[in-house]
Each structure stands twice: as structure tokens, then as C-alpha cells.
A = this chain, B = another copy of it.
Amino acid sequence: MSTDWQTGLQLRSLITKGGELRISLPRIPTPAPGAEEVVVRIEASPLNPSDLGLLFGVADMSTAKVAGTPAEPAITATVPEKLLRAMTGRLDESMPVGNEGAGVVVAAGSSPAAQALIGKTVAVLGGAMYSQYRTLNIRQCMVLPEGTKPAEGASCFVNPLTALGMVETMRREGHTALVHTAAASNLGQMLNRICLKDGVNLVNIVRKPDQEALLRSLGAKYVCNSSAPSFMEDLTKALIETGATLAFDAIGGGKLAGQILSCMEAAAVAKMKEYSRYGSPTHKQVYIYGMLDRGPTELTRNFGMAWGLGGWLLTPFLQKIGPAETQKLRERVVAELRTTFASRYTKEISLREALDPATMAAYAKFGTGEKFLINPSRG
């Protein structure tokens, strides 16, 4: 067996107490696999917004500059002093990045279960995926069906389980329809496919006419454009029709979360027979699960008293539903990997390219419809 895997490049992010972000690409030794472990040559790992949070922290990326050498490339940027406090827990600690990925098993520990994986293409979860090689427990690997390319299996966990988690949360918390923002995203399109398949009404919120057209072409029935002058009326109408009282918001900052609550309230009040100074008794909930806009969230509280806003995160959700339910969701992902859960990428880049300032600026933009895939095996 080849021993190429014994060292490999790994992308690291460090924020110093002095307020400097340093992203570097050292060559590091790959841990030898234990009996129940395998070494995976990572060939595809998506750049999800949640990865960028760890990669850039709260650094001001407009200050980014090249700091390394061609042999050991690095990028530095300044972290504004007033934001440094939010980074306290990670200061002066070099962090690997990359939630999930897929690749080929190139070495395995002594156990038969590990040995059986050699040569298989697997989807993997567990952090540090922006690495050429990763040593992982076999339980962190999901074997992909014969013929699946790593790029097809790179996003098996975060987006599919998040989208399924939204529908599952809706059911568990007693709602019957959903609202989703940044709905033209990869995740949004996935959620649209799930909802169409499962017969769940989904109100898609986008901010551009071409995103609206895209979603409609994908079969979405309710699409509201937040840039349209009639947005509040359009959304209220869709909420009256669908009865959606739960929204998942990828944006976080600005007025949108509050506008959704306002329109949910207007839809609920439209169905009330009697006035109450406290607004409708219908509970209206928005979960913020992303932060495409890191700015403050502004709520104009004209939505009564029966409302909630909160954070939503995949891992605690999976812990709450437990391993058996989680396994069911995972099995559905693999079964529908090329249909419901297919991801599309606009560009595949190497690890070195991920440190190129122009490329970095492109993937840091979170442009909807744009999605980058890192292929660490390209170096």
C-alpha cells in the first residue's frame, strides 16, 4: 500500500491575542490509523457558511494580505479590537477547518470493518476536512453507493441534515408549513425538493428576480422577493394561504426576521374574530440558523406577544432527536443523494487556491447560487 498519506497539507486558521488572523497551509503528519480507524484521502469538501465562520472568525477580510511564501502560503488580516472579545475561546490556538467532505479510503486499521473500507468512496463528518488526509473512526464514514464521485458525496451531512432537520422541527413543534430565507441557496433548493416530495407548503424568500424565477422553475409554489415594494403584502398573502408559523432564517442580521414575524401576525390576525391588545394567540417562531448578514437583528415588535426568535443548530438538534432518528435521516440522504440531496458547485479549487486573496474574496461573498468546493487532493 502507498504511504503517500503519511504527511499532507492542512489549512489552519489562527487568531492571535494581538488581533491578527493568520490562515496558513502547513504540511503535517497524518496520524496512523488505529484498529477501528481509516485514512481518507479527501477529494471534495464544500465551503459552507459555517466553515467560513471558523476560517475567518470576525476578521475584517478587506484588510487581507499575502503573508507567506509560495512554498508555505499564508494570508493575514486584522480583527477589529471591539470584536476580539467574541473570539476569546480560540485566541492563539491554530484551528483546522472544514466540517464535512468525501474521499477515498487509502489506509485502514487492523479490524475487519476498517479493512473492508479500503478503496471505498466515503462521505465523512468530523472537522479538519480542508486536509489532504484525515484519520477517522469508521463510524464517521458513510460508504457511498458504487460509482458515486467524491464531489457528489461531499455535502452529505450539513445541508441535507439541516434541511431535513427544519422539516422535522416543524413537525415536532406543531407547525404545518415553513418559511425559508435565502431560499435560492443550495440548501434552499434542497429544502424545496424535500417539501415538494413530502407535500409540505414552503414559502421561499429570495431577494432577486432571477432567484425567484429559478425557484419557480424548480416547482416552488410560494416565492416572495424581499426587494419588491409589495414584499410585506406578498408574504402575508402566502402566510395566510399556507398557515406557516415557523421560519428558518439564514441571514440573521437586518429586518427580515422581524418582518416575517410581523407578516405571520398579520396573517393570524386576519383569521381572528375578536381584537386582543396582545395580538394573536398563535405562536410565531423564527429560528436563525445562519449569519449571511453579521449585522444587528432589528425587530419592530408589532407582532403581539406570542412569538419567539432563537438560534438553531444542527448538532444539538440531532442530539435531541437521538441516534436512531438521526440514522433514519442519514439513510434518506444516501438513498436520495443524486436527486433530493444533490449539491451543485460553481467552482472547484485546491487548498493553495483557497488561500489566494482574489479567490478568497469570491467565496467569502456568500453569493447565492455560488458555491465552492475544495479538492485537497489537488494540493
Contacts and interface: CB of A to CB of B under 8 A. Distances in A.
Interface string A282-316: 00000011010010111111101111111111011
Contact of A252 (B50, B269, B301, B315): B301
Contacts of A66: none
Return the 3 tightest CB-CB contacts between A and B, nearest first.
A89-B275, A305-B311, A308-B310
Given A277-B54, A278-B313, A310-B308, A299 B297 contact: yes
A331 interface: no
A298 B298 contact: yes
Contacts of A278: 313, 315
A253 interface: yes
A281 interface: yes
Interface in A32-54: 50, 53-54
Contacts of A305: 289, 311-313, 316
A88 interface: yes
Sorting the interface of chain A by its residue count into under 10, 10 to 19, 20 to 34 or 35 or more gives 35 or more
Given A89-B272, A89-B276, A275-B93, A307 B311 contact: yes
Contacts of A306: 311, 313, 316
A95 B276 CA distance: 11
A53 B93 CA distance: 52
Interface string A232-260: 00000000000000000000110000100
A318 to B, nearest CB: 13
Contacts of A149: none
B253 A301 contact: yes
Contacts of A288: 301
A172 to B, nearest CB: 16
Interface string A260-277: 000000100100101111
Contacts of A54: 277
Contacts of A89: 269, 272, 274-276
Given A53-B277, A297-B301, 11 more contacts: A50-B277, A85-B302, A253-B301, A288-B301, A294-B301, A297-B298, A297-B299, A306-B313, A307-B311, A308-B310, A310-B310
Contacts of A90: 275, 277
12 contacts: A86-B302, A95-B275, A252-B301, A258-B296, A278-B313, A291-B301, A296-B300, A297-B299, A305-B316, A307-B310, A308-B309, A308-B310
Contacts of A88: 269
A194 B168 CA distance: 40
A246 B231 CA distance: 35
Contacts of A300: 296
A321 B40 CA distance: 54
A253 to B, nearest CB: 7
Contacts of A297: 298-299, 301
A53 B304 CA distance: 12
Nearest to A298: B296
Interface string A306-344: 111111110110000000000000000000000000000
A312 to B, nearest CB: 7
Contacts of A53: 277
Interface string A78-115: 00000101101110010100000000000000000000
Contacts of A83: 302
Of A53, A83, A300, chain B has the most CB atoms within 10 Å of the CB of: A300
